[in-house]
Structure 1
Amino acid sequence: MDGKLAVIGLGSIGSMALWQASRLSQDVVGFEAASPAHGRSAVGGDTRLFRMIYRGNPDLYPILERSRNLWAELEAETGQNILARTGGLSIGTKNGAYLTALLETTHTTGAEHQILSREQMAQRYPQHNLRTDDIAVYDPHAGALRTDRAVTAAVAAAQANGATIHTNTPIDNITETSDGVLITSGEKTWTFENVIISSGGWSRKLMPESLQTHTQPNRVFLTWFVAKDPALFSPEKFPVFIRIEEDRSMYGAPAVDGATVKATLDFRPTPIENAGAVPRELTPAEIAETTETVSEFFPGLYPNIVRSDAFPDLFTTDRSPLVGRFSEGSRIYCATGFSGGGFKNATGYGQIAAHEALGKRTFEGLDFVRPQRFITG
């Protein structure tokens, strides 16, 4: 055996799984096809939103709570400022479908929040040009996660705990044997007691066909704009936001670099064949819709895209991730398929993956992420 556990892919989730596994055992090894937080992975794009208020499955909330605590632990352990605690705004039409669903989930989870009227928003956050019937829900625990800083910090912490890292080592095949898992990269092979697959858009080729049919790599693009008055869009004055109207939607983060504001169309994934060949340039339609939306929502931003990029992620058919062993008794564990929304929970899911892959218990209520929902369903 070359170790108790191998983590394949050291991006959003894999870096956190490796960090958590290194707290449980010094006999863990991480494999990365390029380098941690490289610019073509799903980690790219400077920031991701962290928020406790959302619409959808209430079972996510315990993972969010755990993730929030673990982000603080990672900061304390590494001395890095990873989560800018800006607060967060969810903006939409009063009594509209978006905020109605969001508040229903929020009341179920009990997440702390405050409802802001249009007049209160105009006073507190004049950067937003609201429509007549708009209101907002404020999340005091939301913020902007520095993605590249988070991943490199987690990998460094794992190494400090004794983990071994192999960079520029793409894994070609994994084969489960009677007593372990054989992994291959070119002419090199290793055998581990257990393996976690956390390669994002590149995970598909390492999974069984029963799961491949329920997954698809997608392209997700991001855009940035220059603020006319950068001080108004600083992390101290401009919370992260999600705004969903009937005809337009956008999310974004403050000017963490002191000049440019991330403002991106909400959830526009497009299927791609190869995670390693993502079209980086925006289409004319993407440019037009983005600039039209920014022109309406933010008069304080110059309506010209100054930076854009696109990144791959693995999406599942039900948009819930794949977290768990391939089958009962399998030595191969997957933590992938986060469908464009995994980074805020990366520490929580990383801890779950590490503990379960090493035979430790986590908590109940995870059926919605288990791979068996596709294999048996």
Structure 2
Amino acid sequence: MDGKLAVIGLGSIGSMALWQASRLSDSVVGFEAHTPAHARSAVGGDTRLFRMIYRGTPGYYPILERSRDLWAELEAETGQDILTRCGGLSIGSTDGPYLRSVLETTRINGAAHQILTREEMAERYPQHNLRADDSAVFDPNAGVLRTDRAVTAAVAAAAANGATVLNNTPVSSIRETNDGVVITSGGTSWTFGKVLIASGGWSRQLMPDYLKAHTETRRVFLSWFVARDAAQFTPDNFPTFSRMYEDRSMYGAPTVDGVTVKATLDGRGTVTTDPNGFPRDLSAVEIPETVETVTEFFPGLIPTIVRSDAFPDLYTEDRNPLLGWLGESSRIYCATGFSGGGFKNATGFGHIAAHEVLGKQSFVGLDFVRPERFKARQPSVQYSAPQLPKA
């Protein structure tokens, strides 16, 4: 054996799983195809939103609570400022489906929140150009995560705990044997007791067919704009936001460089067959839609894209991640398929994955993320993420 556990992919989830596993075992190895937080990974783009208020599956809430505590632990352990708590806004039509769904999930979870009328929004957050029937739900526990700092800090903490990190070591195959799991990279092989797959958009090549049939790699893009008055868009004055209507949608974060503001169309991921070869530049359709939306939403931003990029991530058919063993007797565990929304709870899911794969603890109430939920389903011929109509 070359170790008790190998973690394949040290990005959003893999870095956190490696950090957590290094607290439980002195025989952990992380494999990274490039280097942690490299520019081609789904970690790219400086920031991600952290929020306790969202719409959808209520089962995420306890994971988010644990994630919030673990982000603080990672900061304390490494001395890095990773999570800036600036609050968060969910904005939409008062009686529209978006806010109704947000409030329904919030009611079930009991998350702290405040409903803001259009008039209250205009007074507190005049950066937003609101529609006549708008209102918002304010999340006091939301904030913005610094992705590069988070990943590099987690990997450094794991190494300090005794984990081995192999950079520039892309894994080409994994194979279960009677003795363990054999990992191959180039002409070199290793054998481990257990393997954890956390390679995001590159995970499909390491998955069984039943999961390939229900997953796809998608290209997700981000965009930034210059603020006319950057002081209005600092974390002290400008919470993270998610804003959705039938005709437009956008999310974003306050400035972290004192100049630019992230404001990106929501739900526009497109399928790519090659996570290494998709277009990084925005298309002739993406650019005008992004500019038109910013022009309407934010008069305080200059409506010219000054920076953009695109990244791969693995999407599942139901948009919930894959967290668990690949089979009943398998030694291979996966923590992937977060469908563009996993960073906020990366520490929580990394904690669960590390404890389960090393046999330290099992968790209940997670049927909505277990891979076996797809075994009973027929393979999909084609599926796509919901796309909002263009304006």
| CA positional deviation for 1:366 | 0.4
Written as runs of structure 1 = structure 2, the 5 A alignment for 1:1-377 is: 1-377=1-377
| Matched letter for residue 35 of structure 2 | S
| CA positional deviation for 1:376 | 3.1
CA distance in 2, matches of 1:281, 1:367: 37
| CA positional deviation for 1:255 | 0.5
CA distance in 2, matches of 1:321, 1:245: 25
CA distance in 2, matches of 1:115, 1:318: 29
CA distance in 1, matches of 2:63, 2:261: 28
| CA positional deviation for 1:162 | 0.3
1:351-377 Cα offsets, whole Å, 9 max, x none, are 111000000224311001101011233
CA distance in 2, matches of 1:340, 1:265: 13
3-state SS, counterpart of residue 13 of structure 1: helix
User: With structure 1 as the length reference, what TM-score do the two structures score?
Assistant: 0.99
3-state SS, counterpart of residue 292 of structure 1: helix
| Matched letter for residue 208 of structure 1 | P
CA distance in 2, matches of 1:68, 1:62: 10
1:308-350 Cα offsets, whole Å, 9 max, x none, are 0000000011111100000112100000111101000100010
CA distance in 2, matches of 1:146, 1:267: 22
1:258-292 Cα offsets, whole Å, 9 max, x none, are 00000000111100001111211111111111000
CA distance in 1, matches of 2:179, 2:73: 35
| Matched letter for residue 332 of structure 1 | I
CA distance in 1, matches of 2:252, 2:278: 22
| Matched letter for residue 69 of structure 1 | D
3-state SS, counterpart of residue 179 of structure 2: coil
| Matched letter for residue 279 of structure 1 | P
Q: How many residues align?
A: 377
CA distance in 2, matches of 1:24, 1:62: 22
Q: Any runs of at least 4 consecutive aligned residues in structure 1 with deviations exceeding 3 A, and if so which?
A: none
CA distance in 2, matches of 1:375, 1:67: 29
CA distance in 2, matches of 1:12, 1:169: 17
CA distance in 1, matches of 2:133, 2:310: 33
CA distance in 1, matches of 2:303, 2:241: 18
CA distance in 2, matches of 1:233, 1:209: 46
CA distance in 2, matches of 1:107, 1:246: 23
| CA positional deviation for 1:26 | 1.0
CA distance in 1, matches of 2:350, 2:376: 25
3-state SS, counterpart of residue 261 of structure 1: strand
| Matched letter for residue 175 of structure 1 | R
CA distance in 2, matches of 1:334, 1:186: 22
| Matched letter for residue 268 of structure 1 | R
3-state SS, counterpart of residue 255 of structure 1: coil
User: With structure 2 as the length reference, what TM-score do the two structures score?
Assistant: 0.96
CA distance in 1, matches of 2:182, 2:18: 19
Change (3 A) 1:362 1:143: farther
CA distance in 2, matches of 1:356, 1:180: 17
What do you get for the CA RMSD once the two structures are aligned? 0.6
Percent identical residues: 72
| CA positional deviation for 1:179 | 2.2
CA distance in 2, matches of 1:246, 1:208: 37
Corresponding position of 2:388: none
CA distance in 1, matches of 2:376, 2:206: 19
